[in-house]
Amino acid sequence: MTREVFYAHPRERVWAALTDPAALGQWLMPNDFQPVAGREFTFRTKPGPGFDGVVHCRVLELEAPSRMAWSWRGGPIDTVVRFELDAVEGGTRLRFEQTGFAGLQGNLVRLILGAGWLRQARELELEAANA
Amino acid sequence: MRPDVFRAVADPTRRAVLDLLAEGELAVKDLQPAFRISQPALSQHLRVLREAGLVSERRVGRLRIYRLEAEPLAGLRGWLERYERFWDERFDRLGRVLDGAAAGKDAVRAQ
């Protein structure tokens, strides 16, 4: 999963919103984040099905004011999220990536859309019935 | 979303099994040549998939035939789509925080 978002604000300001725990709490989720590489922290939100409401993270990479990566484990998923900030004309481009289930998405689309198995299943049933 | 569905498809061998079953029903002996694992190991993977409701099993004579069950996959896909929407919403909200629109916690809570 990747996203690119443009913000009409200087990179330092966007970086601050990504790395200040209070600001993170405003736009993402309440947390005990500290901008220190290797530090573990959590986000807490409402629980859902198969999810106790806690996202367990660790700061994997931190390079002010442009790069940051966290491990991101919550409910059934174990992923990595990565933020990259580029200073561009008139503001900042945020590039976001969540990896760990990217391959899974491709598989799913193919499996769900590729309904060839339905037809084949019927053929097999016919064969079995005629056997 | 059942967590065991996600765990079941998190494994590359099991995803490969699902891929093969997407082409049609297969018995273990048909699946076996595609993998470099023992038949008990493959059967174990099939058991995990069956417990997650992703495949069903039926017996034809001495053969166990496996078939892909699409419904849990559709649920999984919906779950992933919600995850994508989650980030879209949060990045919109980040924009509002940066713009100073979310002045204080009430504005955030009101969303």
Residue B108 has pLDDT above 80, yes or no: no
Q: How far is B39 from chain A (nearest CA, A)?
A: 23
Average pLDDT (B90-96) is 96
Residue B26 has pLDDT above 90, yes or no: yes
Cβ atoms of A39 and A58 closer than 8 Å: yes
A75: left (phi over 0), alpha (psi -120 to 50) or beta: left
pLDDT of B105: 42
Q: How many C-beta neighbours within 10 Å does residue B17 have? A: 26
Q: Does A9 touch chain B (CB under 8 A)?
A: yes
C-alpha distance from residue A129 to each of A53, B60, B61 (Å): 50, 10, 12
pLDDT level of residue B101 (50, 70, 90 thresholds):
low
Element spanning A60, H or E:
strand A54-63
The 10s digit of each residue's pLDDT in B27-65 is: 999 999 999 999 999 999 999 999 999 999 999 999 999
pTM of the model: 0.68
Q: First-to-last CA distance in chain A? A: 47
Binary contact (A120, B25; C-beta < 8 A): yes
Helix then strand then coil, % of chain B, to nearest 5: 65, 15, 20
Q: Which residues of A touch B23 (CB under 8 A)?
A: 114, 116-117, 120
pLDDT of A123: 55
Could you say which of A26, A104, A116 has the minimum Cβ distance to residue B102? Answer: A26
Q: Name the residue type at position B89.
A: E
Residue B103 has pLDDT above 60, yes or no: no
Binary contact (A117, B24; C-beta < 8 A): yes
- Phi and psi at B61, nearest 5°, equal 60, -125
The 10s digit of each residue's pLDDT in A77-130 is: 778 999 999 999 999 999 999 887 645 555 565 555 444 444 444 455 556 666
The 10s digit of each residue's pLDDT in A44-62 is: 998 876 678 899 999 999 9
Q: Does B64 touch chain A (CB under 8 A)?
A: no
Could you say which of B1, B24, B77 has the minimum Cβ distance to residue A108? Answer: B77
The complex's ipTM works out to 0.78
**Percent of chain B whose predicted confidence (pLDDT) is above 70:** 87
- Phi and psi at A107, nearest 5°, equal -55, -45
Could you say which of A14, A78, A101 has the minimum Cβ distance to residue B98? Answer: A14
**Chain B residues 74-103 with CB within 8 Å of chain A:** 74, 76-77, 80, 83-84, 87-88, 90-91, 93-99, 102
